[in-house]
A = this chain, B = another copy of it.
Amino acid sequence: MSGNSFGNIFTLTSFGESHGKAIGGIIDGCPAGINIDYEFIQSELNRRKPGQSALTTSRNESDKIEFLSGIFNGKSLGTPIGFVVWNKEKRSEDYSNIKDIYRPSHADFTYEKKYGIRDYRGGGRSSARETIARVVAGALAKLVLINFDIKVKAYVRQIGNIEIDKDYSISELENIEENILKCPDETKSEEMQKLIIDTKNNGDSLGGIIHCVIEGMPVGIGEPVFNKLHAVLGKAMLSINAVKGIEFGSGFKAANMYGSEHNDAFFVTENKIKTKTNFSGGIQGGISNGEPVYFNVAFKPTASITGKQSTVNKNKEVVEMKIAGRHDPCVLPRAVPIVESMAAMVILDFLLLQNAYKF
């Protein structure tokens, strides 16, 4: 309840500050007998790790996963899976000058006021480095979802004012990992990368939108009335650092549509009930209808910019500050596996619950 656990049956509890000893977590409720594909899990971590390209922070962390329990002879035991990723390249001295300062649009002020104490080094617990644990759990969830033929894939849809106006299906995203920005439209990707580099050189930062699609969904996943599938997916996404909004299917555009346009007509094909359109985003009444589930997640621009900023300190004095440390000018490329991970965890958790009733 205190905020560091996620899920009901398949659960992640995570810990770790940006410049503490380690980031880690415990995955409880993972089905037993799952083949733990270490290489896959590490590759997922590599997708979010820093220092991948000029687009990301230069903090150099290998982010190697170390499992401490719950696995035996390469298979999950059904017992809790403890894991750590050690923080190696800590440069805590970078932060000594902001010890008493509240950086604008960071969580320095709110953590200090909430807890009466904070680890100011790299944002402490509020750092997106925390999401390492999510990616590990998400990778595991994906390994379980293979058994259900469910696939979760995300990509960058918008950076600043450059956006692609198409929804990609998973079959169209096969080569996405070759793109360092994780954007499936190569021309737009080039433009976006240029925009990021230019913005970084200006000491500024950018936001954007990530699109996520889930295919292979069975009908019947989600728990009305409060734990509707999109409600829990929404919570999952909004819990990711820098996220400001989420929309499912037609999303905000639905506000400006007529019911006659928006309704997804049912039809039958190959003896299966399908819908002709999918404004519902694969969810009706909070329950999956078998169509692809898809949604957009809006990210704000990174709060850490390198220019001079005016702010206040602990003593309520106005101060001028410059943020040192190493930061991403735009978090989206690294956020793609985080979005997928949270989605995979949600889907698996609901799937197991639905499974409970099959007898």
Contact status B1-A9, CB under 8 Å: yes
In the complex, the 4 A-B pairs of residues with the closest C-beta atoms, listed nearest first: A107-B285, A3-B223, A245-B247, A2-B29
Residues of B near A255 (CB, < 8 A) are 158, 160, 207-209, 298-300
Which residues of A from 101 to 127 have beta carbons under 8 Å from B? 102, 104-107, 109-111, 113-119, 124-126
Residues of B near A289 (CB, < 8 A) are 109-110, 113
Answer yes or no: A341 CB below 8 A from chain B CBs. no
17 contacts between A and B (CB under 8 A): A3-B286, A4-B26, A4-B226, A24-B82, A31-B357, A32-B116, A32-B117, A105-B279, A110-B220, A125-B225, A160-B255, A244-B281, A246-B247, A250-B300, A254-B300, A258-B301, A265-B310
Residues of B near A285 (CB, < 8 A) are 106-107, 110-111, 126
Contact status B235-A17, CB under 8 Å: no
Q: Mark A120-143, 1 if CB is under 8 A from B, else 0.
A: 000011100010000000000000
Answer yes or no: A337 CB below 8 A from chain B CBs. no
Answer yes or no: A28 CB below 8 A from chain B CBs. yes
Answer yes or no: A248 CB below 8 A from chain B CBs. yes
Which residues of A from 257 to 314 have beta carbons under 8 Å from B? 257-268, 271, 273, 275, 279-281, 283-289, 296, 298-305, 307, 309-312
Contact status A15-B268, CB under 8 Å: no
Q: Which of A205, A230, A258 is packed against the most chain B CB atoms within 10 Å?
A: A258
Answer yes or no: A171 CB below 8 A from chain B CBs. no
Contact status A119-B77, CB under 8 Å: yes
Query: How distant is the Cα of A9 from the Cα of B1 in the complex, in angstroms?
Result: 6
Q: Mark A222-242, 1 if CB is under 8 A from B, else 0.
A: 111111101110111111000
Answer yes or no: A204 CB below 8 A from chain B CBs. yes
In the complex, which residue of chain B has the Cβ closest to the Cβ of A147? B359
Q: Chain B nearest CB: distance from A241 CB in Å?
A: 8
Say which one of A39-47, A180-188, A348-356 lies at the interface with B: A348-356
Answer yes or no: A22 CB below 8 A from chain B CBs. yes
Query: How distant is the Cα of A26 from the Cα of B158 in the complex, in angstroms?
Result: 37
Query: How distant is the Cα of A235 from the Cα of B10 in the complex, in angstroms?
Result: 19
Q: What number of copies of this chain does the assembly contain? A: 4
Answer yes or no: A249 CB below 8 A from chain B CBs. yes
Number of interface residues of A (CB under 8 A): 153
Query: How distant is the Cα of A114 from the Cα of B254 in the complex, in angstroms?
Result: 26
Given contacts A107-B286, A125-B224, 8 further A-B contacts (CB under 8 A): A2-B9, A4-B26, A14-B26, A21-B69, A80-B125, A234-B234, A267-B312, A268-B316
Answer yes or no: A57 CB below 8 A from chain B CBs. no
Contact status B260-A204, CB under 8 Å: yes
Residues of B near A8 (CB, < 8 A) are 1, 8
Residues of B near A54 (CB, < 8 A) are none
Answer yes or no: A5 CB below 8 A from chain B CBs. yes
Query: How distant is the Cα of A208 from the Cα of B250 in the complex, in angstroms?
Result: 12
Query: How distant is the Cα of A11 from the Cα of B5 in the complex, in angstroms?
Result: 10
Of B22, B287, B312, which contacts A110 at CB under 8 A?
B287
In the complex, which residue of chain B has the Cβ closest to the Cβ of A249? B244
Contact status A1-B250, CB under 8 Å: no
Answer yes or no: A20 CB below 8 A from chain B CBs. yes
